[in-house]
Amino acid sequence: MDFFSLLYYRFKKVWKAVRLYLVIAGPGLVVMIADNDAGGITTYAATGAKYGYHLIWFLLLLIPVAYYVQEMTVRLGAVTKRGHAEAIFESFGAFWGWFSLLDLMIVDWLTLVTEFVGMTAALSIFGVPAWLTVILVVLLMSIIVLNGRYWTWEKIALGFCLLNLIYIPAAFMVNPSIADIANHGLIPNLPGGLTNELFFLLMANIGTTIAPWMLFFQQSSVVDKGLQEKDIKMGKIDTFIGAIITVAIAIFIVIVTGTLLNGAPIDDAATAAKLLMKTNHYVGAFMAVGLFDAGLLGAICISLASSWAFGEIFGWAHSLNTKVKEAPWFYISFIFTLITAGVVPLIPGAPLVLITLFVQVVAVTLLPAALVFLILLLNDKKTMGEYANTRFQNIISSVIVGSIIILSTMYGVSALFPNIFQ
């Protein structure tokens, strides 16, 4: 075989793999990028404003953390063809099943409220009233979901994922010092020592990287998309690329706020956008658009995670490939969750701070349980066969899950008792 034939053969092989990836890509990318939801953007903006580029190295560590946890849901979904809620019910019985389902419902609804808070705050910067934002979002999300095809929904969601990359041009527009990023950001360091404030922010970054709804969403999404065992490899690549993109976006947000708002007190991403507008109008506008998009993506995935889980357990038709007539309860639960959560930010004097606090605490009750169930299910050789966790995977995932449980518990407890670790 001559050189050019070999080159052509290699190109055809790679192109075939790329095309296959493009068919299978979706659940991993969407879940990972949606992970940078309104709460996540706030956490990254606050991290950059408080500590500049100093914690970029820590964000890089979150790539394997997010990947190893989420790739387990790909295998579980592709092999069992069941969502996470159904898998817990069937494998561990009704007690743990109800506990997980009800906890998921509460966490998802509360998180959805925070997404609406983020979206209304983002568009208020452009003069859009909160009530109009809520109506537009509910209408837009209903249209996206009610089209009756998983593929269409996924492509639209991927379009919103693309918009999430808006932080990359924003970071270039603020002209950061590459030398400072490399010197301060890439070498592990704890600026000012491990203070209570720094510890809280590190835990918040971990908390926003792995959320309970992500496990339920990705597994159900893999099942709804119809991925098979043979697709697991590409599904894992999809998840890995998603993990890299989500952390890259987080780093670009840190660069933006670390460059322009270093030392400014940032309580939420909307405040960051307003402050950025005073320095650079376009960067501030990008921040606000990114916040709205993040809230929208988060809301799309979170409300679907709940509806899928309920459909699995109650035996309703629960696929995005079904029409409204064929799966009325699936769509009713989706829109009901959306509307009730969207109304909350419009209530004058609604306890939004308390809700944000409560999200962190309730998530701590669900996350450890969901992660422990995940590892136990991946060790069930009878069901998983050759796709069960290997010894190496068990060591890695146990260390990651153990660390997440300890840190998220400390995060939740410190949210309940703010002075406990001082």
User: Contact positions toward other proteins, by CB under 8 A?
Assistant: 89-94, 96-97, 99, 313-314, 361, 364-365, 368-369, 372, 376-377, 379-380, 382, 409, 412-413, 416-417
| Number of C-beta neighbours around residue 191 at 10 A | 13
Nearer to other proteins, 163 or 410 (CB): 410
Nearer to other proteins, 93 or 265 (CB): 93
The closest alpha carbon to 227, from 372, 82, 96, 339, belongs to 82
CB of 411 to other proteins, least distance (A): 12
Nearer to other proteins, 142 or 409 (CB): 409
CB of 90 to other proteins, least distance (A): 5
Per the CB < 8 A criterion, the answer to whether 296 and 118 are in contact is no
Residue type, 117: V
CB of 98 to other proteins, least distance (A): 8
The closest alpha carbon to 393, from 270, 183, 232, belongs to 232
CB of 356 to other proteins, least distance (A): 16
Nearer to other proteins, 137 or 415 (CB): 415
Per the CB < 8 A criterion, the answer to whether 100 and 362 are in contact is no
Per the CB < 8 A criterion, the answer to whether 154 and 30 are in contact is yes
Q: How far is CA 121 from CA 22, 29, 30, 62, 156, in A?
A: 35, 26, 23, 28, 23
Nearer to other proteins, 88 or 245 (CB): 88
Handedness of CA 36, 39, 45, 47 (dihedral sign): negative
Nearer to other proteins, 206 or 245 (CB): 206
CB of 171 to other proteins, least distance (A): 39
Residue type, 418: P
CB of 96 to other proteins, least distance (A): 8
CB of 285 to other proteins, least distance (A): 40
Nearer to other proteins, 130 or 361 (CB): 361
CB of 412 to other proteins, least distance (A): 8
Per the CB < 8 A criterion, the answer to whether 377 and 389 are in contact is no
CB of 349 to other proteins, least distance (A): 16
Residue with tokens 């260390």: 399
d(CA 56, CA 47): 9
SS3 label, residue 220: helix
Nearer to other proteins, 266 or 374 (CB): 374
322-356 burial: b if 16+ Cβ within 10 Å, else e: beeeebebbbebbbebbeebbebbeeeeeeeeebb
Nearer to other proteins, 91 or 189 (CB): 91
State both tokens at 244: 């890299």
